[in-house]
Structure 1
Amino acid sequence: METTKPTILILTALTGGGHLSLALALQDILSEDYETHIVDPQPGIFRQYYTYAGRHSSRLWGLGYKYSDNEKAALRLHKTLTLLVQQRLYRLTELIKPRLIITTHTLLSYEIAHVLVQQRASTPLVFQFSELEEVHATWLTVKNADAYLVPTREIFTQARAQGINESRLHLTGMPVRRQFLEEYKTSRAETLARLGLDSAVFTVFLQGGAEGAAGLASMVKSILSVASPVQIILAVGTNKQLAMRFSGIARLRVLPFTQNIAPYMAAADVIIGKAGPNFIAEAMILEKPFLATSFIPGQEAPNLTFLERHNLGWVCLEPVAQHHLLAKLASDPAALAEKVNSIRVYRAWNMQANQGIYPVIAGLISRTSQNLSTHPH
């Protein structure tokens, strides 16, 4: 007899792409046995501010991040934001009636916990931490979520030190979307041929937009001027201005927004871009060295340390140094192979840790089901 799947609500934010990528990764893991709903309940002004600050004033964003990164300031911020989103969260939980709630965004952690307390709901609440080296204080305001999915050992240590009971912490690695778990080695030449690129030439996948149009133009020029032949897959997302500006350049192909980005990253020898945690994790799962050329102040700065500690790539923020490094990599396969070996070690650990996600969620839902059957309303 067919039964209805238990419903899971995954709260996320469409600020940047990382939080949504995390939500989609969790959906991929859980969707076979659970009906999953991914929702961004934040007002549109949140996304507008993030987009503006990211493109025009990363320093402003960094200052805000820094000054709210302590226990008291984090709580004040949460209480203010709760006033803005609590009615949306009330309606959402009443509409979906989830058996379990996961949040992938720190500014929906205290907020949904507060709503559940007000509703006197027993719905299990799970936090999916979203960074690599350390999380912002706002992630640690709530100490009694039912489970914390912790992506790295560094953050496990931080959360435990901040008073979260170890029994609630689950070291489950950084989940990535299913498309990054596919095998692409045999399709690399086909992917590059489809783009009009040569599979025999050193290829970089370059995330466009992080440095702005002027910075990107300078980087493209620097990469293409490397003595050894180099070609670029330039991912511009939905930015039509960048697509127009960089179309028609020899040894460069513009890649507009696509839901299935993994095959194009897998076709490259090196991934280059902003040090976002999900971007780094996706490169690592594909066994591709990551070259961090920029970062969001405050939020992404610790990822640079993580990248170097685990030997997953390079931090290279200056154009001249980037040029010299790429020249070396394009002409010396051994330099690349050394990184790939260490990436495989970390990948194996992360993949094993990911196996713990499903049992945590299934266990919480099962426990709640037993409580409901023992104590029916």
Structure 2
Amino acid sequence: MSQLSEPKQRTILFLIADTGAGHRSAANAISNAIRLISQQEQEEWEARAQKEAVVAGNASDTHGSSYSKDGSQPLEYRIKIVDVFEEYSRFPLREVVKLYGPTIRYNPKLFGEFFNFSNREGSVMTMSSLASPLILNGLLRLFTTIQPDVVVSIHPIINFVTIRALRQLSLPIPFITVVTDLVSVHYSWFAPGADAYIVPTEQAKQLYLKRKLDPKRVHMLGMPIDPKYTHEVKPKEALQRTFGLSPDLPTVLLVGGGDGAGGLHTAIRAISQAHLPVQLMVVTGRNKKLYALLQRTRSRLHVPAHIFGFVNNMPELMHAADVLITKAGPGTICEALACGLPLILSGYVPGQEEGNVDYVVHNDVGVLAMDARTLTDALRRLLKPGSPELQRRLQNAARISRPASSFDIGRKILSFLPAADQPGVWQSQHSHMVQEQMSGRLHSAIRIRRLRSHLTSPISISKNTVMRRFSKTQDISSEQPGAVTKASRRHKRNWM
């Protein structure tokens, strides 16, 4: 037997954008699953090491032993989740991306028009060309800094430029796309050149195949939801006591997604005015204004209501409820299915979430209720004692739910990593040459941007005596010094 070397580490890089909470939630779900897989691998390895030590007559202090016949240890996984637009893109790209949340909340029709307009090859290629100069060098800097062994995208609009950046590195870094839309899959999700495309539904897979891409690279593994949805929870009665709920009233959970959109206030008002014999749990997400409004008006509602902001215990809330009312966000839909909750969809983001409505209705796990009358009627049917509609939807939810999807996705990602007995992607001589080349290129790009900023800055002109005199003669020196200084500082910051 020989002493083991230190376990090798592999780096997994997730690329996201915090447009809503869905992309980060999906990345967190997969990363949590990978950590649990790693823990299981370590426990299994330790058990084998103990068994080998016992067989060899060396059973003393074998827990966590560093000995094994084959000298191998499980890989360790270093996981990085990066909002690439916020941290590595330049103005105006990072500001444009931030418009998603306000747009779907205040003008969803406008977002739907943009989604449909951009959901075609020509539009995607044009947007990719415009975005590349604003993020390509940032991606190269990210990759050479983090040195990932695999890159996983969980956002559609980053895929084309990411593949371009990886090709410029000329390193065999696998690139995997995890699609987080159930049916209305935007054209930009399927950028040619990825090593694998993980999709949540058969409808999404068919859209992929329609693009004439390699059928061997698409894997239908479900929507990534947190591994907590596979855990056993307390009985519903115990959970209801935890949340201060009455055991004598049906519980309706209302969720608006990370940004709190989806007609929550309208749905609450409709249930209250109908005097339905229910109690409410309302999750407003990051919508602080709605949270404050509901807290102020809760005493005037005709039904008991418990108001929550952004929560981390959604599995417990769902298991305590009898019905879920939500907008048609894909993550929340799949979480509800995992918890066996029938759905009432109170709204959807045009374009992006229209297919999610079709998915829910076609599989008969819920209905769309965009007005007060439809919503209250749907609730009455579901909460009627012995409701056949409720039983049918619970059976359908159990049929199509995939609570362990994040583990399946995690294992697929891990299968692209170099084996423990192989060198990592960044350990070859070629990779060192690439790092040196990229370092020189990025430093040159920064110098060029600084020079360009200096040459175009009003301050550099004003320092020249001749130009200053000429400016006075022509009466064009009307800018305020403070404004010039702020603009210069902002310009410099955007280039850095």
The TM-score normalised by the length of structure 2 is 0.70
2:154 and 2:26 map into 1 onto residues whose CA distance is 7
1:178 and 1:356 map into 2 onto residues whose CA distance is 11
Residue number in structure 2 paired with 1:346:
400
Query: What RMSD over aligned residues (CA atoms) do the two structures have, in Å?
Result: 2.2
Residue number in structure 2 paired with 1:364:
416
1:242 and 1:195 map into 2 onto residues whose CA distance is 21
AA at the equivalent of 1:172: L
AA at the equivalent of 1:36: I
* 1:34 maps to 2:77: yes
CA distance 1:372–1:97, change in 2 (3 Å): closer
Contact 1:30/1:36 (8 A) holds in 2: no
Identity %: 26
CA distance 1:228–1:330, change in 2 (3 Å): farther
Residue number in structure 2 paired with 1:123:
173
Instruction: State the 1:63 CA deviation.
Output: 0.9
Instruction: State the 1:35 CA deviation.
Output: 1.4
AA at the equivalent of 2:348: F
Q: Structure 2: give runs of 5+ residues left out of the alignment.
A: 39-75, 87-93, 430-496
Map 1:54-93 onto structure 2 (within 5 A). 54-93=104-143
AA at the equivalent of 2:102: Y
CA distance 1:224–1:289, change in 2 (3 Å): same
Q: Deviation per CA, 1:10-58: give whole Å up to 9, x if none.
A: 0111101111111111101212352111110114414431122112211
Residue number in structure 2 paired with 1:301:
354
Instruction: State the 1:369 CA deviation.
Output: 7.4
Equivalent of 1:180, from 223, 229, 244? 229
* 1:223 maps to 2:276: no
Aligned-partner SS, 2:213: coil
AA at the equivalent of 1:13: A
Equivalent of 1:134, from 166, 181, 184? 184
2:247 and 2:145 map into 1 onto residues whose CA distance is 51
Contact 1:128/1:149 (8 A) holds in 2: yes
1:241 and 1:227 map into 2 onto residues whose CA distance is 25
Contact 2:10/2:424 (8 A) holds in 1: no
Residue number in structure 1 paired with 2:314:
261
Residue number in structure 1 paired with 2:14:
10
Residue number in structure 2 paired with 1:19:
23
1:217 and 1:372 map into 2 onto residues whose CA distance is 52
CA distance 1:308–1:118, change in 2 (3 Å): same
CA distance 1:354–1:261, change in 2 (3 Å): closer
Larger Rg: 2
Contact 2:363/2:396 (8 A) holds in 1: yes
Aligned-partner SS, 2:321: coil
1:136 and 1:238 map into 2 onto residues whose CA distance is 25
* 1:194 maps to 2:242: yes
Contact 1:235/1:255 (8 A) holds in 2: yes
Contact 2:227/2:403 (8 A) holds in 1: no
Aligned-partner SS, 2:99: helix
* 1:210 maps to 2:267: no
Q: Deviation per CA, 1:111-149: give whole Å up to 9, x if none.
A: 211111112121100000111113101112x22211111
Aligned residues: 369
Residue number in structure 2 paired with 1:315:
368
* 1:147 maps to 2:158: no
Residue number in structure 2 paired with 1:96:
146
Contact 2:254/2:264 (8 A) holds in 1: no
Contact 1:172/1:355 (8 A) holds in 2: no
Equivalent of 1:110, from 148, 160, 183? 160
Instruction: State the 1:218 CA deviation.
Output: 3.3
2:128 and 2:407 map into 1 onto residues whose CA distance is 32
AA at the equivalent of 1:195: F
Contact 2:348/2:354 (8 A) holds in 1: yes
AA at the equivalent of 2:391: A
* 1:163 maps to 2:212: yes
CA distance 1:154–1:235, change in 2 (3 Å): same
CA distance 1:58–1:114, change in 2 (3 Å): same
Range 275-284 or range 311-320, more displaced: 311-320
Range 327-336 or range 107-116, more displaced: 327-336
Instruction: State the 1:324 CA deviation.
Output: 0.9
Range 296-305 or range 171-180, more displaced: 171-180
1:362 and 1:369 map into 2 onto residues whose CA distance is 15
Contact 1:224/1:231 (8 A) holds in 2: no
AA at the equivalent of 2:265: A
CA distance 1:4–1:258, change in 2 (3 Å): farther
Residue number in structure 2 paired with 1:285:
338
Q: Structure 1: give runs of 5+ residues left out of the alignment.
A: none
1:360 and 1:338 map into 2 onto residues whose CA distance is 33
Contact 1:228/1:330 (8 A) holds in 2: no
* 1:245 maps to 2:293: yes
Contact 1:228/1:331 (8 A) holds in 2: no
